[in-house]
Amino acid sequence: MSNQRAGKTHRAAASDNTNDMRMRNFFRTCAELFSDNEDVSLFCETIMEEYNAGRQLPSNPKDIQRLFGV
């Protein structure tokens, strides 16, 4: 018998990072599917990089244009 007490644990929330991972996978798949169209592929990769960097995706039209360089 051990004198060591059980450690404190907690369950992870059901939504922990699942949406983030789905979003990354979506844009990664889009970039692969549209690899023949360089513009679409570049846009998808740009969004994926922003998301991976932990930045919030812009909602302002000017910020979106700045993100894509148009």
pLDDT of the chain along its 70 residues, tens only?
A: 567 787 888 776 665 667 788 888 888 898 888 888 888 888 888 888 888 888 888 888 998 888 888 7
Residue given tokens 């990072």 in the structure block: 17
Proportion of the chain in helix, strand, coil states, percent, rounded to 5: 55, 0, 45
- Split into its structural domains, the chain has a count of 1
Q: Looking at residue 1, what is its pLDDT? A: 58
Q: Is residue 2 part of a domain?
A: no
- The model's pTM is 0.62
Q: Looking at residue 57, what is its pLDDT? A: 84
Q: Looking at residue 28, what is its pLDDT? A: 86
Q: Is residue 24 part of a domain?
A: yes
Q: Is residue 23 part of a domain?
A: yes
Q: Looking at residue 42, what is its pLDDT? A: 87
